Amino acid sequence: MFTPNTDRIKKLAEKYSKRISDLEVMFDRPTKLYIDFANVRPWSEQLGWHIDLPRVKQFFDSFDMVKDISVYNGLLCGDLVSEHENKTFAKYYGSSYITKNVKVTKKSINMSSVSKHSPDILKSFVRASLLNELKIKTVDYLNEELLVMNQRGVFYLEDRKCNFDVEIGGDIYLDLERNSYDCFVLWSGDSDFAHPVSKLLDNGKRVFLFATTGRISYELNDLRQKGLEIYDIRKIRDFICWKKEMLIKV
């Protein structure tokens, strides 16, 4: 059953009644959402709009069969925007908001002692399988670009990483063992979740992948043959995007 949590959601639901009906059919049993926000956030580049976690919470809490929504997101210590964002999200999701520090490593791009034909610096950024296929002139060109950056005073790049595969996978297995939910909704396209999703399907659970075109690994896509259902989040844009990006203003 769908009961709008806010007046805005109610008005949008009237505009998108068919989409609400479809979701009610999907969430016809105890359901939990797992949102890998560290993975989902970059989707905005392809979508052209941003996912607003507080609005996600308001929208899906409107479905009585959605019993819990867990969000996994990294914290960039010392970054005021990241710290404020995490406090805001934690306020909405409480103990269902899981966070940890983003790991920041510095990778050198200092070309001072490296030949312009050498792939040594590029090895830190390009997978070996691809690097081995690049022509020498391509390597030379990339190294020349690094030299230009050195001339501007840039001698290293920061690599940020925050992976929640273990945490999400562990929570899924625990919820499965406890038989807490009959419907599992994963927001991620990461191939590392292929095994947990397959395990859920083997145990007769209904599993949905909320994602967008081009962001789903082939390992997850292949699980459609076992019953994995994929839902394009563009269908619910106005319910979950930043308010200023809504297509219909209400």
- Chain centroid to Cα 178, Å, comes to 26
| Element housing 28 (H / E) | none
Q: Report pLDDT for 4.
A: 96
- Whole-number Å distance between alpha carbons of 115 and 92: 53
- Report domain extents, the chain: 7-102+162-245, 104-160
Show Cβ contacts of residue 157 under 8 Å, excluding neighbours closer than 6 positions. 106, 107, 109, 125
CATH assignment of 7-102+162-245?
3.40.50.1010
pTM: 0.85
Q: Report pLDDT for 116.
A: 82
Q: Report pLDDT for 213.
A: 77
- Whole-number Å distance between alpha carbons of 148 and 145: 5
What are the helix (H) ranges across the chain?
7-15, 17-26, 37-40, 43-47, 53-60, 80-93, 128-131, 136-151, 165-178, 194-202, 218-221, 237-240
Calculated CA dihedral for residues 181, 174, 208, 221, nearest 10 degrees: -160
Which regions of the chain are under pLDDT 70?
none
Q: Report pLDDT for 164.
A: 92
